[in-house]
Amino acid sequence: MFDFLVNWLANVPTFALPYALAALGLIITEKAGVLSLGAEGFLLIGAMSGIGVLLGVGDYPLLALTVAALAAAALSLVYALLVVTLRVNQVIGGLALVFLAQGMTGVIATRAGWTSRPVDGLHTVPLGSLADIPVLGPILFQHDPLVFATVPLVALVAYVLDRTMFGLRLRAVGDGPDAADAAGIRVALTRYGAIALGSALVGLAGGYLSVGVAKIWVEGMSGGRGWIAVALVIFARWQPWRALGGALLFGGIEALIPRIAAIGVALPQYLVLMTPYLATLAVMIWICLRQDGRSLEPRALGVAHLREERR
Partner 1 sequence: MGMALELLGVSKTFDGFQALAKADFAVESGEVHALLGENGAGKSTLMNVAAGLYRPDQGRIRVRGREVALTGPVEARRLGIGMVHQHYKLVKAFTAVENILLAQGAARYGAGLAEVEAAIRAQSEAVGFAVDLRRPVGSLSVAEQQRVEILKVLVAGAGILILDEPTAVLTDREAEALLTTMRALARKGAAVVLVTHKLGEVQRHADRVTVMRGGGIVASADPASLSAAELTTLVVGATANPVHCPATRIEGPVLAVEGLAGTRSDGLQTLYGLNLTIRAGEIYGLAGIGGNGQTELAEILMGVRRAGTGRIALAGDDVTGAGPKLRRARGLAAIPADRQVYGLAGDLSVAENYAVGGLASGRFGGWLRVDRAAIRAATEAAIAAFDIRGARSPRQKAGLLSGGNAQKLVIAREFAGRPRVVLAHSPARGLDVRATADIHRRLREARDAGAGVLLISEDLDEVMLMSDRIGVISRGRIVREFDAPADRQAIGAAMVHHA
Residue 172 binds partner 1 (CB under 8 A)? yes
Please state the length of the chain.
311
**Torsion angle of alpha carbons 64, 65, 69, 70, nearest 10°?**
-30
Q: Which is nearer to partner 1, 125 or 287 (CB)?
A: 287
Separation of alpha carbons 46 and 65, rounded Å? 8
For residues 55 and 158, give the distance between their C-alpha atoms in angstroms, rounded to a whole number: 35
Q: Cβ(25)–Cβ(290) under 8 Å?
A: no
Indicate the burial class of 252 (C-beta count within 10 angstroms; 0-12, 13-18, 19 or more).
middle
Candidates 91, 92, 130, 183: give the one binding partner 1 (CB under 8 A): 183
Mapped onto helix, strand or coil, the DSSP state of residue 48 is helix
Contact region with partner 1 (CB under 8 A), list: 43-51, 64-72, 167-175, 228-236: 167-175
Q: Which amino acid is at 283?
A: V
Per the CB < 8 A criterion, the answer to whether 256 and 8 are in contact is yes
Does 189 bind partner 1 (CB under 8 A)? Our answer is no
Say whether residue 176 binds partner 1 (CB under 8 A).
Answer: yes
Which of the residues 115 through 144 are near partner 1 (CB under 8 A)?
none
Q: At closest approach, how far in Å is the CB of 36 from partner 1?
A: 19
Closer residue to partner 1, CB minimum distance, 22 or 233: 233
Give the x-and-dash track for 271-300 against partner 1 (CB under 8 A).
------------------------x--xx-
Among positions 182, 262, 288, 306, the unique one binding partner 1 when judged by CB under 8 A:
182
Site string for partner 1, 19-58 (x = CB under 8 A): ----------------------------------------
Q: Is 163 in the site for partner 1 (CB under 8 A)?
A: yes
Q: Which residues pair with 115 in a beta bridge?
A: 217
Rounded Cα gap, residues 58 and 255, in angstroms: 30
Orientation of helix 225-235 relative to helix 39-56, angle to 10° = 130
Under rule CB under 8 A, residue 262 binds partner 1: no
One-letter identity of residue 246: G
Contact range with partner 1 by CB under 8 A, out of 76-84, 169-177, 205-213, 239-247: 169-177
Instruction: Compute the CA torsion angle 71, 97, 31, 74 (nearest 10 deg).
Output: 20
Q: Of 100-108, 133-141, 174-182, 278-286, which part binds partner 1 (CB under 8 A)?
A: 174-182
- Report the residue number, 106 or 176, with the smaller CB distance to partner 1: 176
Exposed / middle / buried, residue 175 (Cβ in 10 Å: 0-12, 13-18, 19+): middle
Rounded least distance, CB 302 to partner 1, Å:
16
Which parts of this chain interact with partner 1 (CB under 8 A)? 163-165, 167-169, 171-172, 175-176, 178-185, 295, 298-299, 307-308, 310-311
